[in-house]
Structure 1
Amino acid sequence: MSSTSSGRAAGARDRDSEGRARNARPRDGLGRPLPYGADGVARQPEGVVRTPAETVAEAQELLEAGRPFHAHEVFEDAWKSRPAGERGLWRGLAQLAVGLTHAARGNVTGGARLLRRGAGAVREWTADTGEREPHGLDLAGLVAWAQELAVAVESGTAAPVDAAERAPRLRRET
């Protein structure tokens, strides 16, 4: 059996402690896989149940640090753990973070598409629930940010996208 430069058997799959397939390759700040053995950015633990306030605070820190892929993971945990009536909100926020991730990676089409999809999901959730600022979130501001960034990405006026510089404010500035 041959092995890779990391000592792993060629064709071997990374597994977590429960035997599920998991990619253990290190990742950069935008979530791109790096070669085994490279120094990467610490990954967000999966399946963490946080309060909405903890979710928003942690995601904001990650966004401001230029790590929208990791913020997406935090939103995804909320999407999976919050009550059914809130899942559309958290899913939309996760899509916004992934849209910023793709835009920062230079994926113009994917970035713009996900920014618009996330904005639409947030807008739809707001229309369905009538809530405008759940958990202190500035949903109208986030939708406007996503739409503006999608246009800038497609037109080339935002290239290259600096994820930290273009990070949204999740809560209204006071």
Structure 2
Amino acid sequence: MTGINSSGLSRRALLGAFAATAVTAAPTFANAAGFLRGAGDIRRIKMYSGRTGERLDMIYWIEGDYIKDAVKEVNHFMRDWRTNSVKSMDLRTIDIMAASHNLLDVSEPYMLLSGYRSPQTNAMLRSRSRGVAKNSLHMRGQAADLRLASRSVNQMAKAAIACHGGGVGKYSGSNFVHMDCGVVRSWGG
């Protein structure tokens, strides 16, 4: 694995990982320390869903522009599978996911556990778990819960935290990482 060691991600490793992966920042990340600025001209997201059996391997941004049809497919893929409701995902979250994936230097797609959640689904999950927020960013299309078989929760969280783009939650007991484009913060163990 490139760039991650026991002491975390160094600035040089972070910059090298971005340069090697041809991913660059969206204008929406102006306040996120320019974590991808100048690193290339293509962004790609790779995911699969164990719930629906669907797979996605999509270039969704080229040379400074989001690709409308690709973003529409990403939104559909990240829908609330329980209610089949689709919401436009906040592209900053997709960018954080893609940048983190590239930092981890894996070809394996993310397993998407949860993207958009309808209020009904969020209420149902909240009734079953104290870890589900009443006003979850999932309901705004601003969060995703993800897993990689080849990387630990700690490794995934370190990569997401290095992006300085939003919230990162480690859920080691359930083996997933929450990534969102809200306030920069981290939690969990």
Q: TM-score scaled by structure 2?
A: 0.24
Higher strand share: 2
Higher helix share: 1
Q: Over alpha carbons, which structure has the higher Rg?
A: 1
Q: TM-score scaled by structure 1?
A: 0.25
